[in-house]
Structure formats: structure tokens, C-alpha cells
Amino acid sequence: MQSTVEVSETALTERQKDVLDAALTLLVEAGDTLTMTSVARRASCSKESLYKWFGDRDGLLTATVQWQASKVRGVPVDPEAFGLTSLTTGLERFASDWLRVLSGTISVALNRVAVGHAGSDKHDLGAIVLENGPFAMARRLKPLLRLGRDTGLLHFQDTDEAFRTFFGLVVRDVQIRLLLGDRFELTEAAIDRDARRATQQFLALYGADTKAAGDGH
Amino acid sequence: MQSTVEVSETALTERQKDVLDAALTLLVEAGDTLTMTSVARRASCSKESLYKWFGDRDGLLTATVQWQASKVRGVPVDPEAFGLTSLTTGLERFASDWLRVLSGTISVALNRVAVGHAGSDKHDLGAIVLENGPFAMARRLKPLLRLGRDTGLLHFQDTDEAFRTFFGLVVRDVQIRLLLGDRFELTEAAIDRDARRATQQFLALYGADTKAAGDGH
DNA sequence: ACGCTGCCGTAACGTACGGTACGGTACGCA
DNA sequence: TGCGTACCGTACCGTACGTTACGGCAGCGT
């Protein structure tokens, strides 16, 4: 009970976490058409409790998104004994983790509701997903990129530009196609292959031993 | 009721086109929250006519998406007197056109509703946008890529893989950030710069004069 | 034992909106 | 002049769902 999971500064009880997990599975199943009644039924709780805990439907959705985001933390890339090998494996691991999360049903469902609510929204789900999705990825990857540059393994001027290129090489059209409902089979093998390919392409563009064609000063 | 409303290959009257344009602007303003009443009011037509012409709300949305798609056709890249210069300018022109469309308010709005309705939908807006978005782009670009390969300017085995890499280099995180509501200023200058950068990076990866690092042997 | 608290289950309320019906008007045509 | 067609404007209906209210129960402190 003392293990309070601080989301922004809300401490969630175990019961509430169960409710949010139920909301997550419903979000995956039914998308944005989930109703307060369906959540209450699935979680075996009363609607009164839902409104008491989360305020309104928007608050429930927001809490659900944040709850999921709080679970994805971690995956640190810590630099020790750094070299081209560890840079490469770091990038590959990052890319494959990312593709795995991105293509997961939960991520697809959450991005769908966030896109649907973007902008016109009290709590602005879009901003929350943006913050815990692309922006969090950037914050996590950039230290590795800077380390690569500082050790002379990478050449670029703008860290953000380098990150965004890596983003493009990794994600390509996968996310938009999944969001638009394209049936997509992303096997474990395909993920690993894509992660290696993206990493090699990135190194070809920004690696020290090649002429950097990417950062057109 | 004999007037079967043909949705694909529909001949639209001018009045109906006006109505769909009104629906488009409402979609941009209000997103998926647009109501039949609001469309009728904005277009100065009766709801009865809306239902007569488009069947139901889903039919109206579908017709609106298709109407917009029918306007974006064109932009042919015709190959004559082909060389590295025309390949480069072709890729750049393609990339900049694409970024311009992608970052437009109409495209963002349509992709939002399509993502929101993806899968769970009678007419499957997601599939329609997918077909007229990424897939149409692929169909348009691939001839240019094949021409580049046939003339020895490009090296790759899988045309689809090459296209998807170009997709990633061009779009990067722009589309998802826009869809999630990130305020984004994509000036004309920035679009041109990005188009050139993406093209140069693509040529660095797949150009004949460089070791192709992209297409896993 | 008594009251308080927290919660479940469900009934009830208000409303927004998709869909339909209907009266009124303009226009073409015999 | 009368009839049919197409359409606008609006009133209307049914329903789904967000939100609230209430009755009942279980646990806990005193």
C-alpha cells in the first residue's frame, strides 16, 4: 500500500488500478465507444465510484492513458564501456522495443482515442500521449546519440534532427497503417530485422566512417 | 427510393459537391463531432436531402472522404530524358508535395476521423483513407523508383522496402505529432528543406555510387 | 449495538443527436 | 390552372449514454 504509484500526483488504490486495467481492455475491444456503464460492469464497480474517483468520462480516459504510460517507463540505456558495438546494440534494442510497443494492441487503441480527442479536449489526451510517446522516446534516445557523437562514433549537428531521422527509419509507415486499421502481422522476427535495418541505415547516414549526407548544415 | 445512391463512381451534382465541401470545412473545424444538423445548416440544405443523398451519417462521411480524395489525384511523374537530376528533382517534388498535403488542415482532419472509425465501421473509413493515402503514394512513387533502378541510378531489391524507407525519411514524426494535436509550423521553406534532406538521405542509402546499406544484402 | 464510511447495483433524469415526417415553396410541364 | 418533382426548414420521435440519486450491505471504530 505504501508503494504509491505517483502518476502526476495521484495515488491510485489497487482497486482503482484494477478499474483502469478493465478500462484498458475495453478500450482495446471497443475503442472510443466504451461507455461508463460498460466499464462499471466489466470492473464490477459502481458508476458512482467511477465518477467519485475520476470526475467524469474524460477524467477516466485520462487516468487510463496515464496509468498505461506509467507502466511503460524504464528501458534505460546506460553507457559504460562504450563503443560501436554497444552503440549499435543500444540502437537496435531501442528500435525493437519501440516497434514492439507501437504495434501492440494497447498502444494502437490509446493512440486512436488520443487522435480522436486531439485538441478539442478538456484534459487534452493528445498532449498526454504525445508526451509519453514520441517525446518520451526522444528524451530516452538522445543521451545515447550524444554519447555517440561525443565519442566520435556519430556525426551530426542537431540532435533533434538525428533523432527524428532515426524515428522515421524505425517507424516508417507502420504506425499510421496500424492506426488506420490495416491488418498487419509484425512478427518477432520482422521486428528484429527492421530494428537492425533501421540501425544500419542510421549508421550509414550518421556514422563517423561515412560522409554524413543527413545533416545538411 | 429507386434512386440508388452509388457511392463508388458516383456522379455528384454540383449541389451535392457544395454540401460535401461544407462537410469538409466542418470536419476541419469540429472534427468528428460534426452533426447532421450542423452540416445541413452550414450547407443550407435539409436533413432530408442529406439522408436521401448519402443514406446515413456514415455514408456522408464516406462520401466526404472520397470527394476530397478525388480532388488530390494527379501529380504524375513522367519519365523522359531520365537521369540523376530528374530522379532527384522527382523525389524532391514528390516529398514536398506529400509533406504539404500531409500537414494541411484537411488531411489532418480526415485522418483523424478515419483513425477514430478504423475497423469498427460499416464503410471502413480507415481503409478508404489508407487506400487514398499511403497506398496511393506508394503506387505513384514506385514507377519512379523502378525507373531509377532500371537505369542503374538506384540499388535495391524490394521496391516496397525502398518506398517505405523513403516514406520514413520524408514523414518522420510529422504526421503522428500533427494527429496528436502538436502545434506545428511547417513553413514552405521547411518543407523544401525537408524534401531535399530526405531525398539526399535516400540517395545516400540507395544511390548507385554508395554502398547500399539499406537492403539487407 | 450503533453509527459512519465506502462501495455495489440499479433505477431515474436530462439531453444530444441520428433519423423521420410533414408543411411550404419554386419550377417544369401539360 | 393543375400536377409532379425536388428541395428547404422545422418539428418530432426514439434511443443511447453521461450523470445523478438512492437503497442496501459489509467492515470498522467506539
What's the pLDDT at B119? 74
Cβ-Cβ contacts under 8 Å, B129 against chain A: 180
Q: What angle do CA A147, B169, A68 make, to 5 degrees?
A: 70
The residue count for chain B: 217
Query: Angle, to 10 degrees, between the axis of helix A14-30 and the axis of helix A47-54?
Result: 100
Residue A141 above 50 pLDDT? yes
Enter the DSSP assignment of A184: -
> How high is the pLDDT of residue B102?
94
pLDDT exceeds 70 at position A10: no
How many Cβ atoms from other residues are within 10 Å of residue A53's Cβ?
A: 18
Q: What gap in Å lies between CA B81 and CA A208, rounded to an integer?
A: 36
Computed over every residue of chain A, the mean pLDDT equals 88
pLDDT band at A3, cuts 50/70/90?
Answer: very low
Q: What are the residues whose beta carbons fall under 8 Å from the beta carbon of B114, sequence distance 6 or more?
A: A180, B65, B125, B126, B128, B129, B130
Q: Nucleotide D6: nearest residue by CA–C1'? A: B49
- Burial (CB < 10 A; 0-12, 13-18, 19+), residue B204, is buried
How far is residue B142's CA from residue B189's CA, in Å, rounded to a whole number?
26
Q: How far separated are the first and last CA of chain B, in Å rounded?
A: 60
Q: What protein residues sit with their CB closer than 7 Å to strand C?
A: A 13, 15, 40, 44-49, 52; B 33, 35-37, 46-48, 51, 56-58
pLDDT number for residue A118: 86
- The 10s digit of each residue's pLDDT in B26-61 is 999 999 899 999 999 999 999 999 999 999 999 999
Contact across the interface for A193 and B204, Cβ inside 8 Å: no
Long-range contacts at A100-103 (CB < 8 A, ≥ 24 apart): A100/A191, A101/A72, A102/A171, A102/A174, A102/A175, A102/A178, A103/A174, A103/A178, A103/A184, A103/A186, A103/A191
Residues from chain B that touch A129, judged by Cβ atoms under 8 A, are 180
Q: Which fold has domain B74-206?
A: Tetracycline Repressor; domain 2 (1.10.357)
Which residues belong to CATH 1.10.10.60 in chain A? 14-71
Question: Straight-line distance from CA B128 to C1' D8, in Å?
Answer: 32
Give ranges for CATH 1.10.357.10 in chain B.
74-206
* pLDDT score, position B78: 66
A154 φ/ψ angles, rounded to the nearest 5 degrees:
-125, 150
Give the pLDDT of residue A11.
80
Evaluate if residue A7 carries a pLDDT over 70.
no
- What mean pLDDT do residues B119-144 have? 90
Which of B129, B173, B194, B209 to probe the A interface (max A CBs under 10 A)? B173
Q: Closest residue to D21 by CA to C1' distance?
A: A48
- In strand C, the nucleotides that come within 7 Å of a protein beta carbon are 7-11, 16-23
C-alpha span between B109 and B29 (Å, rounded): 8
Q: How confident is the model at residue B197 (pLDDT cuts 50, 70, 90)?
A: very high
Is the separation of the CB atoms in B55 and B95 below 8 Å?
no
Closest chain B residue to A169, measured at CA: B168
Strand partners, A47: none
Looking at domain B14-71, its CATH superfamily turns out to be: Homeodomain-like (1.10.10.60)
Contact criterion met (CB below 8 Å) for A126 and A117: yes
DSSP A44-77: T--HHHHHHHHSSHHHHHHHHHHHHHHHH-----
Q: Is residue B74 very low, low, confident or very high in pLDDT (cuts 50, 70, 90)? A: low
User: CA of B36 to nearest chain A CA: how many angstroms apart?
Assistant: 19
pLDDT band at residue A134 using 50, 70 and 90 as cut-offs: very high
Q: Is the pLDDT of residue A217 over 60?
A: no
Rounded mean pLDDT of chain B?
A: 88
Disruptive mutation site among B108, B115, B206 for chain A (greatest number of A CBs within 10 Å): B115
Q: How far apart are CA A196 and CA A208, in angstroms?
A: 18
Beta bridge partners of A154: A207
Let me know if domain A76-206 sits in CATH 1.10.357.10.
yes
CA A163 to C1' C15, in angstroms, rounded, equals 48
Neighbours of B105 (CB within 10 A): 13
Which string of DSSP letters, residue by residue, matches B58-97? HHHHHHHHHHHHHHH-------SS--HHHHHHHHHHHHHH
Helix or strand holding residue A172 (H, E) = none
A143: CB partners within 8 A, 6+ apart: A77, A79
pLDDT surpasses 60 at A109: yes
What is d(CA B114, CA A103) in angstroms, rounded to the nearest whole number?
18
Q: Answer yes or no: is pLDDT of B97 > 60.
A: yes
d(CA A7, CA A187): 32
pLDDT tens per residue across span A152-201: 999 999 999 999 999 999 999 999 999 999 998 899 999 999 999 999 99
Q: Distance (Å) from the C-alpha of residue A44 to the closest C-alpha of chain B?
A: 26
